[in-house]
Structure 1
């Protein structure tokens, strides 16, 4: 399978789970596996009835889909360090999970009384996070084992209480069934707190050189006519090309950050090269005489980047002048 299709699936995954920002204070690392099953095929390139992928610090490290039916490495150091039997065993495990998902997505459709003519999505995400102040071995911070159906929370594991949580009535039969098997919950807790952390540290050691690389954000500010209100401009701040993905981006007016509820945000999204981007926008009055800027903070920066954008005259007249200049040069 080509890397381009894996990237498309990774982008879809981040859209569904809304890859977001987190605190910049402590050093954090994560290992997650995400499985996605569709109730029927769709005619879209790179989108399969079943996919599975591993994400180490938000970078895809392995991939499986229902067409090729092989678990493959997507980082060169994973291919070099992990023996062939690791990939063979992983392939068999993915095939088993594919069968499980195919059965259970149909069970949920029946339980929800959903139409078979529509496409429904069952996802499972499980893994762990570690946190510390540096060093190779860090402490367990959080474990996640959760299921979603059609983008809504369906069932999740409470690691502290070793119990399943059902936010919707349709999940209650599954919760009761799984909670009545204590050894299953004990295994889930043990995997999240111990086995997952061991794999996370091992993978980070293998990919230390690659994962240690970081990239600062490229920050751009621009404005154009608002499509919803012709008397306003849409001011946009874009930070792109940064890694790791934790970033702070604020739109400021006279050096005061605008409230987040006034700002549109794409959330942090992946670029094709393993870096990330974040875009935020706000509608402002076209004739307003104010100083705006984009404020961006990232661990690669000694000082935050402040990219200014100021009104010097009516933006509409400036657009007209630029248009006239372009016409005269033709």
Structure 2
């Protein structure tokens, strides 16, 4: 489970406007209906490839450019097969290291991803390793510093020779192939992953009957890519995160995303007349979008509705009185001369 949290973290860590390529590899110890080894390849949030130990061949989302077929097969043999043997050895070591028995199923997962910055420059290569649902190891490879920077201690200590070997492999094999594949599929899938869709904004208000409080929500939806910055303010100061609910980026059914943030305002706070507003920044917005909440609009609507009802009642009473008067006049005029008849016309405007 933690390795999938890392996947979401990686998607949010990459800079706005940049792109990422991630390979999630899974090795299973034990009998299951699933392949012993499998890899899912993701370009940003789009699955572009799959590989497993049943066919030992990569299956890609698009083969519109078949000139890369031989190169893709070669890269798969270089990267995925090598990962299979290394993860297999490591899975059995970790199983013994954590005193697991040979019974049952044990899962080893590895996530490796690189990023291409918005200026076209290669970024960092990230690495996570997990076994049995526990995130064990994490590091990044910095191509500019030619060095691996550890973020979590390793279950297996590296000696100096192994450190040099790993630096060499990541600098000359893994990172170049990752960046090359990322550039290639950015070009092939540019209509999908490089599109920009502006967010639509909705402000929602809900009265909380139990507490007499008010919940205000700011919803940004229909945007792509997924990077967005949405902030709620009270009197021009950001509201503390512990007072806000929501904030997760969720997928829509059409390939776009949404984010909602909500804040509960107590009855006492409403009397203090604070100013609340919602601000968002997105790649497809030239400037930040700033919208102010009207926390008194509900009471204003109620007052308007009451006034409207009273006006309608007054009009109804006037019309009823006029009809009764008209009938009486008509009855009295039936014995009078025509020249003595009186006709009164009243418009709705006069009645009001």
* Short-chain TM bin: 0.5 to 0.7
**Among candidates 63, 84, 87, match of residue 79 of structure 1:** 63
Q: TM-score scaled to structure 2, two decimals?
A: 0.64
Q: Which residue of 1 aligns with 2:139?
A: 156
Q: Give the distance between the partners of 1:296 and 1:207, measured in 2 at CA.
A: 27
Q: Which residue of 1 aligns with 2:336?
A: none
Q: Give the distance between the partners of 2:278 and 2:53, measured in 1 at CA.
A: 43
Q: Give the distance between the partners of 1:287 and 1:257, measured in 2 at CA.
A: 20
The SS at the match of 2:260 is strand
**Counterpart check, 1:29 vs 2:13:** no
Assess if the C-alpha contact under 8 Å between 2:141 and 2:170 holds in 1: no
**Among candidates 180, 197, 201, match of residue 179 of structure 2:** 197
Q: Give the distance between the partners of 1:106 and 1:121, measured in 2 at CA.
A: 10
Q: TM-score scaled to structure 1, two decimals?
A: 0.67
Q: 1:176 to 1:166 in 2, by over 3 A?
A: farther
Shift of 1:71: 3.1
Moved more, 114-123 or 281-290: 114-123
Q: Give the distance between the partners of 1:252 and 1:153, measured in 2 at CA.
A: 39
The SS at the match of 1:176 is coil
**Counterpart check, 1:300 vs 2:297:** no
Q: Which residue of 2 aligns with 1:281?
A: 262
The SS at the match of 2:173 is helix
**Where in structure 2 are the equivalents of 1:95-174 lying within 5 Å?**
97-98=83-84, 100-101=86-87, 104-113=90-99, 121-133=107-119, 138-149=120-131, 150-159=133-142, 160=145, 162-163=147-148, 165=150, 167-168=152-153, 171-173=154-156
Q: 1:89 to 1:293 in 2, by over 3 A?
A: same
Q: Give the distance between the partners of 1:237 and 1:42, measured in 2 at CA.
A: 45
Q: Which residue of 1 aligns with 2:201?
A: 219
Shift of 1:300: 0.9
**Where in structure 2 are the equivalents of 1:63-78 lying within 5 Å?**
63-64=50-51, 71-74=58-61, 78=62
**Where in structure 2 are the equivalents of 1:311-326 lying within 5 Å?**
311-312=295-296
Shift of 1:70: 5.6
Q: Give the distance between the partners of 1:210 and 1:196, measured in 2 at CA.
A: 20
Q: Give the distance between the partners of 1:232 and 1:68, measured in 2 at CA.
A: 60
**Where in structure 2 are the equivalents of 1:203-242 lying within 5 Å?**
203-223=185-205, 234-242=215-223
Which structure 2 residue ranges, 5 or more long, are not aligned? 306-352
Q: Which residue of 2 aligns with 1:20?
A: 12
Which structure 1 residue ranges, 5 or more long, are not aligned? 1-8, 322-330
**Where in structure 2 are the equivalents of 1:250-261 lying within 5 Å?**
250-261=231-242
Shift of 1:245: 2.0
Q: Which residue of 2 aligns with 1:326?
A: none
Q: 1:49 to 1:279 in 2, by over 3 A?
A: farther
Assess if the C-alpha contact under 8 Å between 2:222 and 2:257 holds in 1: yes
Moved more, 217-226 or 202-211: 217-226
The SS at the match of 2:269 is coil
**Counterpart check, 1:268 vs 2:254:** no
Assess if the C-alpha contact under 8 Å between 1:148 and 1:154 holds in 2: yes
Q: CA RMSD in A?
A: 4.3
The SS at the match of 2:12 is coil
Greater relative contact order (Cα < 8 A, sep 6+): 1
The number of equivalent residue pairs is 292
Q: Give the distance between the partners of 1:177 and 1:14, measured in 2 at CA.
A: 30
Q: Give the distance between the partners of 1:199 and 1:236, measured in 2 at CA.
A: 41
The CA deviation string for residues 165-211 of structure 1, in whole angstroms up to 9 with x for no partner, is 3724xx342x4268526333202122355333233222222333443
